[in-house]
Amino acid sequence: MKTISKNRIVMLMAGGIILTASMMAHSGQTAAVIDDFSAADNTSYGLPRQFINDAMAGGATQDKHSLNNGIMRVTGTITPPRGQPGWSSAVVPLAEIGKFVDASVYQGIQLRVRITQGNLSVSANSQDITNFDYHAAPIVVKADGKFHDVTIPFTSMKRAWSEQTPLNTSNLNSLSIVAYSLQPAAFDYEIDDVRFY
């Protein structure tokens, strides 16, 4: 049986691919709005957001998150574990653990985001993937103090080190938004809206 090295798992997390446990299945059509950040703790699906960082892998990253007027702000300093990327992840659950939603009627993910500093990525976490190497893509916007609408087609999302397989959007259970760096660095970003399109 092939094992996955700790370094590879951490690299996946830094690329925006964290899967965690608090999710819920929906009957019928999956709602397009995933999170408009209007509720203090829960997504628009009624599930609690989760925040984790590389402390679980030996890093010393510190982060803070807050909500104000429907905007989530996440700031902090990445201090990577030795020889590994550092990361801070905001997990947006879609379904309870062991369950999923069908997003196959949509083409991708759209975010309204403002990045003051740092690198961001987003992943779509499918139950098909069993080695934590979820389909991810960078979130690229100018650090100009303005909000930007970023559209990420599902077809553009790639796995980091596994065989490139198509993303199965019929069984997604979470999205992850991750600030990451290979060396100590500050990050500061705001998200106004996350939705399928």
Residue 18 is predicted with a pLDDT of: 33
Q: Would the pLDDT of 25 be above 80? A: no
Q: To which CATH superfamily is domain 6-196 assigned?
A: Galactose-binding lectin (2.60.120.430)
pTM: 0.81
Q: Are strands 119-126 and 135-139 parallel, antiparallel or unpaired?
A: antiparallel
Residue 29 is predicted with a pLDDT of: 52
CA 3 to chain CA centroid, nearest Å: 24
Q: Would the pLDDT of 138 be above 90? A: yes
Those residues with Cβ within 8 angstroms of residue 2's Cβ, 6 or more apart along the chain or in another chain: none
Distance CA 73, CA 84 (A): 25
Distances from the Cα of 161 to the Cα of 15, 49, 70, 164, angstroms: 11, 27, 36, 8
Instruction: List, for residues 56-105, the tens digit of each pLDDT value.
Output: 889 999 999 999 999 999 999 999 998 889 999 999 999 988 899 999 99
- Say what percent of the chain tops pLDDT 90: 74
Amino acid in the structure at residue 55: A
CA 100 to chain CA centroid, nearest Å: 16
Distance CA 134, CA 83 (A): 22
